[in-house]
A and B are shown apart, each in its own frame.
Chain A
Amino acid sequence: MNAALVILVVAFAVAIGLGLAARGGREMDLEQWSVGGRAFGTIFVFVLMAGEIYTTFTFLGGSGWAYGKGGPTLYILAYGPIAYSWSYFLLPVIWRYAREKKLVSQADFFVAKYESNAMGVLVALVSVAALVPYLVLQLKGLGIIVSEVSSGSVSSTAAVWAGAAALTLYVIVSGVRGSAWTATLKDLMILSVAVVLGVYLPLHYYGGYGAMFEAIDRAKPGFLTLPARGMSPSWFISTVLLTSTGFYMWPQFFAGAYTAKSEDVFRKNAVVLPLYGLVLLFVFFVGFAAVLQVPGLKGADGDLSLFRIAEQTFSPATIGVIGAAGLLTALVPGSMILLTAGTILSKNVYRVAVPSADDRSVTRLARALVGVVALFSVWLTLRGGEAIVSLLLMGYNLVTQLFPALFFSLPERPLVSTAAAAAGIVAGEAMVAYLTMSGASVATLMPWAPEAVKDLNVGIVALIVNVLVLGVVAAATRRRPVAATS
């Protein structure tokens, strides 16, 4: 067992220990398990909300994109801060309503607002369809990290099983508290690893940032900016706007907001979280440093650039610490996903099917379903195949389709009928499925359009269809103007 692997195993054990200790002898009813009894302060909500920007996707994929694609990578830096600035107004409204109605899931919000259990089932199904591929991606990342760090002595299959088992265990025992505790550890580690690598590597190999980027610009002209076609400025702008719109539509972050003990937590976080996102810049620096130092990684192998340049530079012990940070970036989002999937399947699907179910059995089932979802995800991960990649690309577009229905429900009474909101979601999701399966882009749909339109992110098309259908059905099923109920 080399030094790197020892450190990895220790980090893994600490994460499980923290996750289990987080329960702290509490009685776990569904509200305590799913949303921490709505008692979290600024720090816990902060790390849960920062979770989205520091997943294995950002750790491996952020450096991988910088390595393989260059300039377009900057979109990953842009969407988080924009979503956080909007959250200043969005999250307090959601939080207030959730507390008043004692909601524990995102689907609950739609059920309460639109007064329809069927709406909850629809949203729950969309959520799970988007969550599972997201979890598969985290597990895949975990497998890659462990097999890289252990130089192949631990197989990626064994790592995926161990990771999924650990997640299932502490999510069942501690619920969202387990996620919050391990998320705190994760953020401390990823922060220090990213900054150290992002500062050290450019200085070590090039003597400075300016020198590094000049060297890259000379070797690969145009690599550091957006190309004129394809991932052009119009692609960049549309992708950032779409991604920011979808950001809080992920059920685990939506429900993560319920954990706050006061709405002021969100306002403070909207100020601090964008700055925190700057750490991503250091992750990119690692990928850029690797461009000329470990050339030749093609396609998906670009995701290994961070580990390859680190292995060439540092001792095994340091690699172990980097691997441990990467491991945690997979475990934490993974645990939030499992928790959320268990909660919505039990509360928003099972309970609708079996209305006689009492709170205890719903809570028990939610925990059992964590194991089921985990097993299913492990199976998908190990089965491999390209389908998962396209499912994942679909995931963000799937959840984004919930936005119009949410937006129109924000006033005290929804501005559109339940039928309209549901029709918009169904039409949007159908469009996403069609676009994903057919691999269509705006360019193939509208070959006559100007270049700036052709480069728009194709997700925009689904969102437009969604809003159009919602508008038409809303006009046809207009709610009677209701006098204020008070």
Chain B
Amino acid sequence: MPDAPRPAGRRAYHWLTAVPTVAMLGGVPFVNRVHPMVLGLPLLMAWIAGWVVLTSATMGLVLYLDRARGGRDR
């Protein structure tokens, strides 16, 4: 899915886009606990919320790299 057909624009770091999906959901069975709490939040909640922030960060990085390479293909 992250690799929508766009031959000219295919770049390896675009796979970073898959990281939030895989990490946020893949971690769920392992952090399905209340303790230790993080910033006053139960661990599971802190994990999801943390990855929401990291999703923004990851997409920011992808956007930054795309802009740095310039020549957005169109």
Contact = CB atoms under 8 A, between A and B. Distances in A.
A210 B40 CA distance: 4
B69 interface: no
A407 B55 CA distance: 23
Contacts of A407: 1
A78 B51 CA distance: 9
A89 B33 contact: no
Main secondary structure of the interface of A (DSSP, over half): helix
A464 B6 CA distance: 26
A96 interface: yes
Contacts of B52: 77-78, 81, 274-275, 277-278
Given A81-B20, A85-B20, A271 B4 contact: no
Contacts of A89: 1-4, 6, 14, 17
Nearest to A411: B5
Contacts of B40: 208-213
A84 B5 CA distance: 18
A25 B53 CA distance: 41
Interface in A214-261: 214, 217, 224-226, 233, 236-237, 240-241, 244
Contacts of A213: 34, 37, 40-42
A274 B48 contact: no
B29 interface: yes
Contact of B55 (A210, A212, A264, A274): A274
A271 B60 contact: yes
Main secondary structure of the interface of B (DSSP, over half): helix
A88 B2 CA distance: 8
Contacts of A270: 59, 63
A93 B34 contact: no
Contacts of A90: 1, 4
Nearest to A86: B1
Interface residues of B, number: 39
B4 to A, nearest CB: 4
A189 interface: no
B2 to A, nearest CB: 6
A272 interface: yes
A224 B45 contact: yes
Contacts, number: 129
Interface string A258-286: 00000110011011101101100100100
B17 A81 contact: no
B37 A74 contact: no
Nearest to A74: B48
A212 B41 CA distance: 9
Contact of B17 (A88, A212, A214, A226): A88
Nearest to B52: A81
A185 interface: no
A88 B34 CA distance: 33
B4 A226 contact: no
B63 A271 contact: yes
A81 B23 CA distance: 13
A231 to B, nearest CB: 11
B2 A274 contact: no
A198 to B, nearest CB: 12
B39 A209 contact: yes
Contacts of B24: 78, 81-82
A412 B20 CA distance: 28
A278 B50 CA distance: 10
Nearest to B61: A271
Given A82-B21, A226-B32, A240-B25, A93 B59 contact: no
A41 interface: no
Given A86-B2, A89-B6, 4 more contacts: A81-B55, A82-B21, A271-B56, A410-B4
Please give me the 10 A-B residue pairs with the lowest Cβ-Cβ distance, nearest first.
A209-B40, A210-B40, A274-B55, A89-B4, A411-B5, A81-B55, A233-B29, A275-B56, A224-B42, A274-B56
8 contacts: A77-B48, A82-B25, A84-B59, A86-B2, A89-B1, A93-B6, A225-B44, A411-B5
Interface of A: 71, 74, 77-78, 81-82, 84-86, 88-90, 93, 96, 208-214, 217, 224-226, 233, 236-237, 240-241, 244, 263-264, 267-268, 270-272, 274-275, 277-278, 281, 284, 407, 410-412
Interface of B: 1-6, 14, 17, 20-21, 24-25, 28-29, 32-34, 37, 39-42, 44-45, 48-49, 51-53, 55-56, 58-60, 62-63, 66, 72, 74
